[in-house]
Amino acid sequence: MNGDWLLRGRDGRLSVYLPTDDAVLCRAERAPGGPWTDPRRVGGEQKLHPSSCAVGQGGDLYAHLVCWRPTTAGEAGLVHSTHFRPRLAALDWASIGHPDKKGALTGPPAVAVDAQGRAHVFVRNKAGGVSLAAQKEKGGWEPWADLKGRDVQGELAAVTGESGRVELYAAVPGGILHWRQEEPGAALTLEEAMEAPVRPDTLRALATSPDSATLFYTDDSGDLCAWRPGAKPVTLLPSAGPGPVSAVRCELDGHDCTLLAQRSAAGRIAFAAYPTEQESAGAWWTDSGPALPSDATVSLSVDEDDRVVAATLSPSTGRLLLTRRKSEPGLALEAWREV
């Protein structure tokens, strides 16, 4: 699942989105901090492609999900669903087509939701660039737009800044491409191509100030780097393991901090925190919880009491583990528990 799959809804309940071989399942708290529901299928009975889904959330706290689905032999199309509240059923999957009108699956999608609650769906096209489908203000979808670019690799990273502007990042050989809106609701334009030895499938973007977002990625040497367009990338610390980090803004001991989490090479979940946009302050990893299978992923959120929550999911075992920050100084976490 591309994006943060652990979300807090409008009613304060946490929910998780779990991809399977042909569907996306949702589990949610029955009450904030309480027991969890059994898995429920999202969007009806339509068959989906495995490992080709994305989720994004807007300021209204609605979840937007996008997945590839098989259409005719050898071809696929993208579908979209909105989930308004964790305990309610999500809308049925609705087709948004293919970036090249028709064809095979081209790459994993990414989703960002603007300040007006409109989903922006990004996906690689057959030319190797990026295409965009955006929801209209009064329903329906704008035609697919070619945002250009070339040789795009791996998962895209989409984010909506505090200003309401949508941004997109993509890995290419030897660099990173960056698109953004000049103002909320405007067309996205290719702003910058930054040379960097980036590993595909390690990008994760987080809104970190009113005017900027921070992109986290792993370089070829295995270091986790942070980049804000217009500045040079900063090496933060060695990555704990493969794949992208999960990142969330939170308050720790009265300070605005960025918390990172990643499955470490040893199999546990590693956490690192530092003052937001102050990478020079340094960060270091602290392992937590049991050893997990190699396919386990981690996602971060905050609950209605503004406590950090972390969840891990292993598709091979189906185990969902959860922990929360304790009500004490520092980043002390409760014991991990299966839900």
Q: Tens of pLDDT along 265-299?
A: 999 999 999 999 999 999 999 999 999 999 999 99
The DSSP output letter for 279 is: G
Q: Can you say whether residue 36 is alpha, beta or left, with left for phi > 0 and alpha for psi between -120 and 50 degrees? A: beta
Quick one: pLDDT at residue 87?
84
Output phi, psi for 125, to 5 deg. -105, 175
Show which of 107, 127, 149 is a domain's final residue.
107
Q: How far apart are CA 249 and CA 194, in angstroms?
A: 25
Asked if residue 316 has pLDDT above 90, the reply is no
Query: In angstroms, how far is CA 216 from the centroid of its own chain?
Result: 12
Sheet of strand 246-252: strand arrangement: 246-252, 255-263, 269-275, 286-288
Mean pLDDT for all residues in the chain: 94
Residue 202 reports pLDDT greater than 80: yes
pLDDT number for residue 241: 92
Total number of domains constituting the chain: 2
pLDDT of residue 330: 84
Give backbone dihedrals phi and psi of 244, rounded to 5 degrees, phi first.
-75, 155
Of 264, 251, 257, which Cα lies nearest the Cα of 305? 251
15: in domain: yes
Domain contains 140: no
pLDDT of amino acid 63: 97
Q: Is 66 exposed, middle or buried (0-12, 13-18, 19+ CB in 10 A)?
A: buried
The answer for residues whose C-beta is within 8 angstroms of residue 254's C-beta and 6 or more apart is none
Assess if residue 129 is contained within a domain. Answer: no
| Model confidence at 126: pLDDT above 80 | yes
| pLDDT score at 51 | 73
Question: Tens digit of pLDDT for each residue in 212-239?
Answer: 999 999 999 999 999 999 999 999 999 9
Q: What is the pLDDT of residues 168-194, one digit of tens each?
A: 999 999 999 999 999 988 999 998 889
Last residue of a domain, one of 82, 107, 132: 107
Residue 8 resides in a domain: yes
235 part of a folded domain: no
Q: Is residue 172 part of a domain?
A: no
Given 107, 140, 161, the domain boundary residue is 107
Structure confidence at residue 240 (pLDDT): 96
The pLDDT assigned to 320 comes to: 94
CA distance 291 to 269: 8
Decide if 31 is inside a domain. yes
Residues in Cβ contact with 43 at an 8 Å cutoff, skipping those fewer than 6 apart: 24, 65, 79, 81, 90, 91, 92, 93
pLDDT at residue 197, as a whole number: 96
Asked if 234 contacts 278 with a C-beta cutoff of 8 angstroms, the reply is no
Q: Residue 299: what pLDDT? A: 98
| Residue 275 domain boundaries | 245-339
Across the strands, what pairs with 204?
A: 216
116-140 mean pLDDT: 95
Q: Give the global pTM.
A: 0.96
Phi, psi of 149 (to 5 degrees): 90, 170
> What φ, ψ does residue 286 adopt, rounded to 5°?
-130, 120
Task: Say if CB 175 and CB 223 are below 8 A apart.
Answer: no
Pick the closest to residue 64 from 84, 87, 44, 40 (CA basis). Answer: 84
Q: Which residues contact 140 (CB under 8 A, 6 or more apart)?
A: none
Residue 318 covered by a domain:
yes
In this prediction, residue 310 carries a pLDDT of: 98
pLDDT one-digit tens code per residue, 30-77: 999 889 999 999 999 999 997 789 999 999 999 999 999 999 999 999
What value does the mean pLDDT take over residues 144-166?
A: 96
3-state secondary structure of 280: helix
DSSP track, 133-180? EEB-TTSSBPPPEE---SS-EEEEEEEE-TTS-EEEEEEETTEEEEEE
Question: 153-160 and 166-172: which strand pairing?
Answer: antiparallel
| 31, 62, 74, 316 from 41: Cα distances, Å | 20, 17, 25, 18
The per-residue pLDDT for range 88-123, each reduced to its tens digit, is 999 999 999 999 999 999 999 999 999 999 999 999
Predicted local confidence at residue 185, as pLDDT: 87
